[in-house]
Structure 1
Amino acid sequence: MTEGDRLKQIRKNANMTQEEFAKRMGVTQSAIARIERNTNNVSEQMRKSICREFNVDPIWLSTGEGEMFFEQSLDSIEMLDKLLHTESKFANTMFKMFAKYTKEDWEDLERLVSKSAEYIKELDDRL
């Protein structure tokens, strides 16, 4: 399934026409039609708007991994918004990299961080 297919799924789930969806996103109906036909790609700005407006998981929208919708606290949403609007090139690169992670990648990262924390604790205990 392409990102255009996922956008169409979001729109249909919201029981919206292309015209209604386009108006909410601040674009034309033809722009939505081109995305759904996979003629055009979803812009980064539209991706952010879709996720915010429809509570869509940005990873699912970009990659199809995980669930379409996610439950988040307001704090989590504010943190994500802050991260998305940072001017740090490094932070933006890291966020894009994490967005492409598979479940296995996240499990590998979790193991690495856990081992690192254990190693740091051992060093602290020796001092």
Structure 2
Amino acid sequence: MNTRIKFLRKNSGLTQEKFAERIGLKQNSIALIESGKRNISDQAILSICREFGVREEWLRTGNGEMYAPAPTNGLDLLAKEKKLTHGEYILIEKFVGLNPETRKRILDYIQEVSAALSADDIPADAPAIDCRESAESLHAELDRQLGIEKKEAAGESEAS
């Protein structure tokens, strides 16, 4: 793996110092990794893959294509640009997959909750909210609404 890291660094036209800076390591760590005197951490491997767009399998084993395929849709481009986590990607993907009316209801609800939380008239002795219970009830409501949409969509496709 050390030779592939050195190849990638040189192919990118970077000094050990600049390469290390981009992945959050020090120059001497890169020198030791490239010379095979130090093993590279999984975190550093993931940083290299993310920062330089190389495939983890190639970096670890030399198998397959060096570079990951370019993003093919807007969400993939956004995910790469903003370094979205897998969970953030799924949240956005599922949200934009909803019909416009459901998205509007969700946004309206979020605004309503936000306004209520920022209101100055919340009594000082207001009961504590069980966030887990609130999240579960929100999830149940969203599931209920999605179920209605699926039934409506199934009815439309049967009518066609």
What is aligned with 2:52? 54
Cα separation, 1, equivalents of 2:43 and 2:51 = 12
Gaps of 5+ in 1: 84-127
Q: What TM-score, normalized by structure 2, do the two folds share?
A: 0.45
Choose 1 or 2 for highest CA Rg.
Answer: 2
Q: Does 1:82 align with 2:86?
A: yes
Tell me what 1:98 maps to.
Answer: none
What root-mean-square deviation, in Å, do the aligned CA atoms of Structure 1 and Structure 2 show? 2.1
Number of aligned residue pairs: 79
Q: Distance in 2 between matches of 1:15 and 1:41?
A: 23
**TM-score relative to the length of structure 1:** 0.56
Stretches of structure 2 that go unaligned for 5 or more consecutive residues are 88-160
Q: Looking at both structures, which has the greater relative contact order when contacts are Cα pairs under 8 Å and sequence separation is at least 6? A: 1
The equivalent residue for 1:8 is 6
**Deviation above 6 Å: which 4+ runs of structure 1?**
none
CA distance in 1, matches of 2:70, 2:41: 24
1:105 counterpart residue number:
none
Who is 1:41 aligned against?
A: 39
Partner of 2:16: 18
Q: Partner of 2:26 in structure 1? A: 28
